Amino acid sequence: MSNPLPMMAIVYLAIEPAWLALTRPERREYAAEIGAIVDRHADVSFEWFDADALSGKHSDFAVCRFTDMRTYHHLWEELRDTVIFSKPFARITDVSLGIENGFVDYEESIA
């Protein structure tokens, strides 16, 4: 059986003005809800980055590392069910997805 492929997704987000209109304590409550969801999906490494002061294309991005596409997909299904995405306070603007050293896996498969 082959080894799991290490994958990474960079999920680019736009934070909406409705989020900025919330008080800081309200934002922390929503962030805690997101944190609890991320914690339930321990097979996906998740990091959140602010980018609004550094890029005009998106305000934030998340870096997700995983070896099973299903676990990644389930994480984002649960996240999208929250008020963060349904209000919306944020929306996904783009996703970059890749396989770490995918060429090595291919070369090993044809050797």
CATH no. of 7-110: 3.30.70.1030
List, for residues 5-19, the tens digit of each pLDDT value.
999 999 999 999 999
Above 90 in pLDDT, residue 35? yes
Mean pLDDT (the chain) is 94
Treating both helix axes as pointing N-terminal to C-terminal, what angle do 69-80 and 24-40 enclose, rounded to 10 degrees?
150
Grade residue 111 by pLDDT with cuts at 50, 70 and 90: confident
Domain ranges of the chain: 7-110
Percentage of residues in the chain having pLDDT higher than 70: 99
pLDDT at 3: 86
Above 70 in pLDDT, residue 62? yes
Above 70 in pLDDT, residue 56? yes
pTM of the predicted structure, to 2 decimals: 0.90
Instruction: Report whether 41 contacts 71 (CB < 8 A).
Output: yes
Tokens representing 40 are 């339930």
